[in-house]
Chains A and B, each alone.
Chain A
Amino acid sequence: MTLAFILLGALAIVGGIITIAAKNAVHAALGLVGTLLCVAGLFATLNASFLAATQVIVYAGAVMVLFLFVIMLLNANQPVTGHDPVPFVRELAGIGGTLLAGAFVVLAFTYEDPRPLAESAAALRGGDAMIMGETLLTRFLLPFEAVSILLLVAIVGAVALVQRPEAQPDGVPDELEQPIGAARPERAPTPRTGAQPALQAGRESEVSA
């Protein structure tokens, strides 16, 4: 039990470091997958078997597939480099994070269990789906229903957000309407707003850096 905790905890921290330090976004996402799997294992050691299964299926499976899909769709796996807008942001964040972690560790070891741990763990009955369902459909019925509505709204919202904007009657021919043999512009000019020149220049310098 102790060995499992040390192993899974160390791997989870390593995965977290990969997540925040990897240059390539795909590597970072895979590091997070490792962390999520380790957290699922830790759930299993904490008498929460149903949650461990849910963590693997929903988080490490569905959510991370969505992340990888978007990273590859946007071709965002290249690192963003360039001028740092805030000076010493990495150093400050590192110091702040270390202080926060230290404070959490100190606080954690002041915590005392309200009753013997073995007795509490037995009351959870392994955290199987039955005890979860009992709580979810009695004490948490309203949040449960609210979450179902939230998921529906999220689905509709995501579909509405990524819809292509309708063609504007501005006289500019659409890119797809040009004949096949015609030379297509390298980037479709966006007639409505267009990226600002400063932004484009900044991005090009970042890509070359």
Chain B
Amino acid sequence: MVSTSSYLALSGILFALGMIGVLTRRTAIMVFLSVELMLNAANLALVAFARSWGDPTGQTAVFIVMTLAAAEVAIGLAIIVAIFRKRETTNVDDLAALKG
């Protein structure tokens, strides 16, 4: 049986990969894909903890996170489509109108 630490380490690596993606990619859709990667890394850690404690609470939390992610993707992609119609770009550097 693989130790919980190994799963947590894998989860941390995936999370860091997602963070690099969020920081370096320039297209809003790619930023979104990286955010999904980070969410999945967090889900993996939650399931690993659920097995470690023998408690299905962690798995239920993952279920709810999945639902939230689905809602977030639906709204986020709708926003991206709306922005693309108005500005003809999804480059986040060109969409920095609100920067302070």
Contact = CB atoms under 8 A, between A and B. Distances in A.
A151 B1 contact: no
Contacts of B43: 39, 55
Given A123-B55, A154-B75, A35 B24 contact: no
The winner among B4, B17, B66 for most chain A CB atoms within 10 A is B17
B9 A109 contact: yes
Interface in B65-100: 66-75, 77-82, 84, 86-91, 93-94
A151 B67 contact: yes
B54 A124 contact: yes
B29 to A, nearest CB: 6
Contacts of B6: 5, 9, 108
Given A59-B66, A100-B15, A120-B52, A19 B81 contact: no
B6 to A, nearest CB: 7
A169 interface: no
Q: Which of B36, B51, B71 has the most CB of A within 10 A?
A: B51
A132 B59 contact: yes
Nearest to B1: A117
Contacts of B51: 46-48, 117, 120-121, 124
A132 B18 CA distance: 28
Interface in A83-116: 85, 89-90, 92-94, 96-98, 100-101, 103-105, 107-109, 111, 113-115
A97 B20 contact: yes
Nearest to B12: A104
B19 A97 contact: yes
B42 to A, nearest CB: 11
A29 B73 CA distance: 13
A184 interface: no
Nearest to A127: B59
* Interface-central residue, A66, A127, A139, A154, by most chain B CB under 10 Å: A154
25 contacts: A1-B1, A20-B20, A32-B33, A39-B43, A46-B50, A63-B73, A66-B77, A67-B73, A76-B29, A76-B84, A80-B91, A93-B23, A96-B19, A96-B23, A100-B12, A104-B12, A108-B8, A108-B12, A109-B5, A111-B52, A135-B57, A136-B60, A150-B67, A151-B70, A153-B71
Interface of B: 1-21, 23-27, 29-30, 32-34, 36-37, 40, 43-44, 47-48, 50-57, 59-60, 62-64, 66-75, 77-82, 84, 86-91, 93-94
